[in-house]
Amino acid sequence: MVVGEFTTEVDVLVLGAGPGGYVAAIRAAQLGKKVMVVEKAEVGGVCLNRGCIPSKALISAAHRYEEMNHSDDMGLTADGVKVDFSKVQAWKQTVVGKLTGGVGSLLKGNGVELVQGEALFVTPNEVRVYQGNEFNRYKFNHCIIATGSRPIELRAFPFGKRIISSTEALSLPEIPKSMVVIGGGYIGIELGQMYAKFGCQVTVIEGTEQILPLFENEIVRWVQRRLKKDGVTVHTKAKAVSAEQTDTGVTLKYEINGEQKEITADYLLVTVGRVPNTDELGLDQVGIKKNERGLIEVDHQCKTNVENVYAIGDVTAGPALAHKASYEGKVAAEVIAGHNSAVDYKCIPSVVFSDPEIASVGLSETEAKEQGHTVATGKFNYAANGRALSLNANEGFVKVVADKESGIVLGCQIVGPGAPDLIAEMGLAIEMGASLEDIALTIHAHPTLGEMVMEATENALGQGVHTLTK
């Protein structure tokens, strides 16, 4: 075969098999399209291979380990609890394997063809897919760009043996003795706290005033308290300056309150954000518009400025979250199939698998006021919930935010165990336009953590039973 001569024609070509790409591909196939997905690495993308899934697996192992060692309150003591980290890693890898295998079968089962290789646009209707130096051509009627994002690499901290990104941090062969994390966003906090629970000495360097800057201080305080207990040192308003790596460790110079400081650790984990994978796709060649941050510009139907080319997920603006990518994937596929679909959500939940866990959806109290609402809020503490106490989980709260006049729910913030699952109810409530009363009048099973959602709404209405309001 002459290289580059072989041309295939498809209806829908999807670039990238992450949560955006594979969902788009499956939805398009359901709607009767001939679909092909191009993936240069593993099916499942960042989320399944180097993101959500492996990070949550390691976090649960760390939790389990902590509980094995610290359940004496309940009369349970254990001696000589050991961690075999290579087994932890192997288990995590089987979880990843099951899920990526599942995605592979779903693609196949839906008749989606998978092509291994790296895609590059040559014309608005054709890409080359490279495997090494060889390439094939693929013509398409519609294309969905879902090539995701990668960790930002700072010039002063080039990734190497000891300066690592989240990807390497998820696959360390052993628990490091010490680790410095630059960036107190959710990825840095999740991974830092996980290693701390396994006994690693962790220090977080965050530039702004607060770690987890997207969440309110009244929430983050709970996590900070816990981080302290886990032995994590947090430096806020601190600026990482330079680092020197050797074969065995790394020394970081940083500035805090105008003072120069220095810290040495086994690893320096840099989690300061992500950049979209839009720089090596040949987008300029075909005139697909990006903004100054490299994000592809799309309309409410995920259409780019080039006819028949769509973009979804981390390559577009908005929160870089798996569920946002998948939602957009469905919209793009449906629009291609001729449906009048559009990106039309009222809220996207965001969760942090810190200890305690955090979840938030819709507007915070401050945001609701900024948008001109007269606000009613209601709070309920884990410490007053029977199920929470029976789980020995009494740290945290549920807070609901509503428009006072109409009673319509605008937002909810939860900090405490189970928050990522509890928030789903309030996402639905906001989408449905539910009022505080709608939730308060819904019977929640007892004893469950979910009752706190109901009771927080009752408190917002001034009729809470398990809270003294005076």
Partner 1 sequence: AKRALATPAIRRLARELGVDIQTVKGTGAGGRVTEEDVRSAVASQVS
Ligand X SMILES: Cc1cc2nc3c(=O)[nH]c(=O)nc-3n(C[C@H](O)[C@H](O)[C@H](O)COP(=O)(O)OP(=O)(O)OC[C@H]3O[C@@H](n4cnc5c(N)ncnc54)[C@H](O)[C@@H]3O)c2cc1C
* Contact set with partner 1 (CB under 8 A): 339-342, 344-346, 406, 408, 431-433, 435
∠ Cα 279 286 330 (to 5°)? 75
CA-CA distances (angstroms) from residue 132 to 117, 136, 139? Answer: 8, 11, 20
| 123 marked ligand binding residue | no
Give CA 350 to chain center in angstroms: 8
Total interface residues for ligand X by CB under 6 A: 35
Q: Which of 55, 100, 360, 459 binds ligand X (CB under 6 A)?
A: 55
Interatomic CA distance for residues 212 and 186, integer angstroms: 6
| 101 marked ligand binding residue | no
Q: Name the one residue in this structure whose structure tokens are 């997207």.
A: 214
In this chain, which residue has its C-beta nearest to ligand X? 148
Which of 25, 368 has the CB closer to ligand X? 25
Asked whether 169 and 55 are in contact (CB, 8 A), the reply is: no
Question: Does position 277 bind ligand X by CB under 6 A?
Answer: yes
Which of 416, 464 has the CB closer to ligand X? 416
Partner from partner 1, ligand X, none binding residue 346, C-beta < 5-8 Å depending on class: partner 1
Which of 274, 373 has the CB closer to ligand X? 274
| 192 marked ligand binding residue | no
Interatomic CA distance for residues 117 and 413, integer angstroms: 42
Q: Which of 146, 163, 250, 252 binds ligand X (CB under 6 A)?
A: 146
CB of 170 to ligand X, least distance (A): 6
Nearest to 288 by CA among 304, 302, 276, 311: 304
**CA atoms within a 13 Å half-sphere pointing along the CA-CB vector of 254:** 25
Partner from partner 1, ligand X, none binding residue 412, C-beta < 5-8 Å depending on class: none
Asked whether 29 and 321 are in contact (CB, 8 A), the reply is: no
Question: Does position 38 bind ligand X by CB under 6 A?
Answer: yes
Q: What is the dihedral of CA 180, 184, 190, 193, to 10 degrees?
A: 50
Which of 406, 442 has the CB closer to partner 1? 406
CB of 18 to ligand X, least distance (A): 2
Interatomic CA distance for residues 255 and 238, integer angstroms: 6
Q: Which of 12, 20, 265, 436 binds ligand X (CB under 6 A)?
A: 20
CB of 339 to partner 1, least distance (A): 7
| 185 marked ligand binding residue | yes
Partner from ligand X, partner 1, none binding residue 409, C-beta < 5-8 Å depending on class: none
Residues facing 71 on adjacent strands: 76
Partner from partner 1, ligand X, none binding residue 38, C-beta < 5-8 Å depending on class: ligand X
Which of 17, 232 has the CB closer to ligand X? 17
Question: Does position 323 bind ligand X by CB under 6 A?
Answer: yes
Contacts of 470 (CB under 8 A, 6+ apart): none
Q: Which of 10, 15, 114, 164 binds ligand X (CB under 6 A)?
A: 15
Give CA 144 to chain center in angstroms: 21
CB of 337 to partner 1, least distance (A): 13
Question: Does position 325 bind ligand X by CB under 6 A?
Answer: yes
Annotated active-site residue 446? The verdict is yes
Binding site per annotation, positions for FAD? 56, 147-149, 314
Binding site per annotation, positions for NAD(+)? 183-190, 206, 273
- Positions annotated as catalytic residues are 446
| Residues in touch with ligand X (CB under 6 A) | 15-21, 38-41, 45-47, 50-52, 55, 118-119, 146-149, 166, 187, 277, 281, 313-314, 320-323, 325
